[in-house]
Amino acid sequence: MNLTNEWQALKKHGARIIGCFPLYPPLELIHSLGLTPVVLWDFPGPAKVLEKADRHLQRFACSVGRQLTEFILSRESEILDGLFMYNACDTLRNLPEIVASGLAEQKRSLPLVRTHIPMAPPEQTAWEDYFRKKIWALIRNLEETFGVTYSLERFQRSVELYQQMRSLATTLMTRTAGGIISYRLFSRTLQEANFRTVEEQITLLEKILRENPTGRAQLNEPDLPIVLSGILPPSPAVIRVMENVGLRVVGNDIASQERAYGYTPAQKISDPCEYYLDFYQNHVPCPTLLYLADQRLERIKNLVQKTEAAGVVFLGEKFCEYEYFEIPFLEKILKKKGVAVTSLEISAEDGDQAAIVTRIEPFADMLREKAQKRGKQN
Ligand code: SF4
């Protein structure tokens, strides 16, 4: 997938592209204003040389932040009409100022709209009123910055489109868990969809589902069902190895995948504030949404139980302290419960991620042995 070509085609049809970060921006709202939001995460293609990012960010920042910075400071981002950002981790906290100064050096600038999502657990601090004000302020800011007008009817229509897209992505994952679609295809499809309009995402997901109807499971032997967790999905090379050794992803806890599409408010929409209160307060737990931290263990345990996974693979994003606050704890609790766990680490410099590959094989061997022992006992 060539991003520039994709986006140039969109621009020919008059699209105004807004690059958003981090992972869970109010896409429906931005879309309803006649803009095209794309989440700047999980960029396609091989990892880039991070020359520009490294002049502005420390090398021990996560690869997600560095790739994002590199993209915004590169010529590729000239196609964007603006940026949207909400608060997340320390790496991203000062990124607007960092990229603004990097762009200024190149005599460039991009309009940036920001909002703030309260990170205290709602049961400890009532943040609803504050958040409602932030949403209305965001709408006004978007209107003024991009010369557009908010309408409830258009917002409702955009919500319907995103509900449809998230439902299709859920169905795609169900077929992946059932062995009908490979995780490689699932992951590639979601990555491609991410950089398209929501209308195109729906078309793409429907196409893949049509081409892969239910009832034709292609399970490899041996079949070792796992839950996969992490900020970014594994590279195609790592996925190939996982599938070759028989690991089948039955539970998805990847931030750019199921954590992103896994929850959408079902309520009848009469107010964008109520919609986004529901959206953020009931979001799939993610370490980047600090107020959901207490729900994360339950979510992983339920995922393992519901999918009958034989093990969990944590893909830690190197230097992401948010993931690393939780992974050791999750690992300990799951192991106590008899769930096999392995933790792997990925980063921008890993190339073909050979070190990861050599750890996947023994993990698969261990799962296979466990499965054989269970088989003999039954
Ligand atoms: S991977 Fe972690 S440190 Fe990096 S941007 Fe995401 S939450 Fe922040």
Q: What is the CATH number of the domain that holds 86?
A: 3.40.50.11890
242 part of a folded domain: no
Domain of 143 in residue numbering reads as 3-150
Closest by CA to 2, choosing from 139, 192, 146, is 192
Q: Cα–Cα distance between 176 and 183 in angstroms, integer?
A: 6
99 part of a folded domain: yes
- Over 80: is that where the pLDDT of 194 sits? yes
212 part of a folded domain: no
* Interacting residues of 24 by C-beta distance below 8 A, sequence separation 6+: 86, 260, 280, 283, 286, 288, 289
pLDDT tens for each residue of 235-266: 888 899 999 999 999 999 999 999 999 999 98
For the ranges 66-70, 214-218, 248-252, 331-335, the lowest mean pLDDT is seen at 214-218
- Enter the tokens of residue 333: 């609790």
> What number is the average pLDDT over the span 7-22?
92
| Ligand 1 nearest atom to the CA of residue 62, by list position | 4
370 part of a folded domain: no
Candidate from 92, 318, 326 with most ligand 1 atoms within 8 A of CB, to mutate: 92
305 part of a folded domain: no
- Please give the radius of gyration of the chain, using alpha carbons only, rounded to the nearest integer: 21
222 part of a folded domain: no
**pTM reported for the whole predicted model:** 0.93
249 part of a folded domain: no
Confidence of residue 230 (pLDDT cuts 50, 70, 90): very high
Closest residue (by CA) to atom 2 of ligand 1? 320
Ligand 1 mean position to 116 CA, how many Å?
A: 17
> What number is the average pLDDT over the span 5-22?
91
325 part of a folded domain: no
| Ligand 1 nearest atom to the CA of residue 63, by list position | 4
Closest by CA to 113, choosing from 157, 82, 87, 79, is 82
- Over 70: is that where the pLDDT of 220 sits? no
Candidate from 322, 324, 326 with most ligand 1 atoms within 8 A of CB, to mutate: 322
DSSP structure class, residue 40: -
Task: Count up the domains in the chain and report the number.
Answer: 1
